[in-house]
Amino acid sequence: MIKTNISKRIKFNIDQMEKAFFDCADLKKKPMKFGKNQDVDAYLIYIEVTVDTTISVLGQTLRFLNEKDRQEILSILYHNALAIPDATFFETIEEAIDGVLTGEAILFVDGFDKALKIPDGGYPSMGISETDSEKVVRGSNEGLCDSVKQNAALIRRRIRSPKVKAKQLKIGVRSNTNVYVMYIEDLAKTELVKEIEKRLKNFEIDGVLDSGILEQLAEKDWYSPFPQFQTTERVDRASMALLEGRVVVLSDNSPVGLLLPTDYNSFIKTSDDYYNRWEIATFARMIRYVASFFALTLPGFYLAVTNYHTQILPTSLLLSFAKARQGVPFPAVFEVILMELAFELLREAGVRIPGNIGSTIGIVGGLIIGQAAVEANLVSPIVVIVVAFTALCSFAVPNEEFATAFRLLKFVLIGLSAGLGYFGMLIGLLGILIHLSHLTSFGNPYLSPFVGADLNHYQDERDVLWRMPLRYLRKRPIYANEKERTRLEFKTEEKGNVCDK
């Protein structure tokens, strides 16, 4: 693409900018005159809501230049003597246009062959707020916001090291969205950073409005229901990922960061697993693993047992099931699918209804529909219990995108179990396990450290189903550079304590 250099003739620059921003009512384009004798022509352009021309840096700059004569103004500009740390000079019209679109003010001065970007308020944003997802009992609730620069600053506030790097990419032919690839220089593998940049540059799209678009386009196994990017709205979770040697991708206009590479175990962990004592953290993590399994298998297991393998149930329980189904005109598989779809509808309606009333409608609607369906003999009470418990298990999975995979595959196992019984469910589970064993996230096995534990000398196994005491978690996960795996050392080793070599 051929670029147009900025001219010393201000009329040429004005014509180029007016041509680029024709019919843009939200832009302010002001021809001005500077100098003691008002003999220096200038042109200021900015998006209206992003700049305050009175008391801001821009206003102070304009008043300062207006007190100088022509030669002094040009000399100040040539020598960058405005004393503005974030002032930037552009040499081409295209760069100046991009500067306007970033939300800053651009100043052209007659006789000066560069455009000056003067930083100001920038685009309005929602600001920093408490995260809505990934709730924790202990730890900070500070969430990411819509500004990629503020998000990077929040992470730097937690990791105050010059080795934290943030590479900026522009993605989107029309949106020109700022995307930061953040990592710690000596911890993250160089080939991993290069591969991430390669995938982000491997496509062209007209606009990127959220990090979810990057996630879908950069995934290798896009057909899989299991995400290969871990998402987070928590600043401390993103910082923790950097300290593990992982990479964080932040997109402007999105409060959701992408953590990679990832694996099955990372989706089960939460931030407060490391803030609480190891006993309660281990107990909570095991509950989450069990919940993820039941969220996938419980409805199918119920159908397999009641339709094909009733002999594994105690007689009293079997009679109780049979009594509960008396008068129900539909087969069990229809009951389960009907209630599962009803619950998914309630979940979707609760999300879409504005305000706090959404959660209320979901709870009340579920109770009313479930009770009415049982009283009308459309479904049996045991099916309502199975569906409700399955939903509760899916909510226990910390990551929403990861839980979605279980919600979808649950219907596959329902179909296999209804047709083939327990053997159908086993076939489905085997297929899912085979798929997971072939799945990778930027070269990292999705089932690590259940597989490939020897690659990190079995250190990652100390933080899987159970979380060993922090004093024994002395090595970083396999994501980090091999030479920088040690993250904890005691200056004086306690007597009887095991020391990792």
Confidence of residue 245 (pLDDT cuts 50, 70, 90): very high
What is the reported pLDDT for 28?
A: 87
Q: What is the DSSP letter of 416?
A: H
Lowest mean pLDDT among 317-326, 336-345, 419-428, 475-484: 317-326
Residue 127 structure tokens: 């600001």
State yes or no: pLDDT of 237 exceeds 90: yes
Predicted confidence (pLDDT) per residue in 76-85, tens digit:
888 776 767 6
- pTM reported for the whole predicted model: 0.84
3-state SS string for 431-442:
HHHHHHHHCEEC
Distance CA 203, CA 214 (A): 10
| Cβ pair 272, 285 in contact under 8 A | no
- What rounded mean pLDDT belongs to the chain? 86
Distance CA 432, CA 322 (A): 32
Which among 392, 422, 414 is positioned nearest to 313, based on CA atoms? 422
Predicted confidence (pLDDT) per residue in 411-420, tens digit:
999 999 999 9
Ranges of H-type helices in 353-399? 357-375, 381-395
State yes or no: pLDDT of 53 exceeds 60: no
In the chain, where the domains are located: 10-118, 148-262, 296-444
State yes or no: pLDDT of 495 exceeds 60: no
Confidence of residue 188 (pLDDT cuts 50, 70, 90): very high
Predicted confidence (pLDDT) per residue in 192-207, tens digit:
999 999 999 999 999 9
| Cβ pair 159, 188 in contact under 8 A | no
What is the reported pLDDT for 191?
A: 94
State yes or no: pLDDT of 33 exceeds 70: yes
What is the reported pLDDT for 70?
A: 84
Confidence of residue 358 (pLDDT cuts 50, 70, 90): low
State yes or no: pLDDT of 121 exceeds 70: no
Contacts (Cβ under 8 Å, ≥6 apart) of 143: 128, 129, 130, 131, 132, 233, 234, 235, 255
Higher pLDDT, 354 or 207: 207
β-pairing, 247-251 vs 257-260, is: antiparallel
Confidence of residue 494 (pLDDT cuts 50, 70, 90): low
Distance CA 231, CA 213 (A): 12
Q: What is the DSSP letter of 461?
A: G
- Does the CA dihedral 474-476-482-483 come out positive or negative? negative
State yes or no: pLDDT of 446 exceeds 60: yes
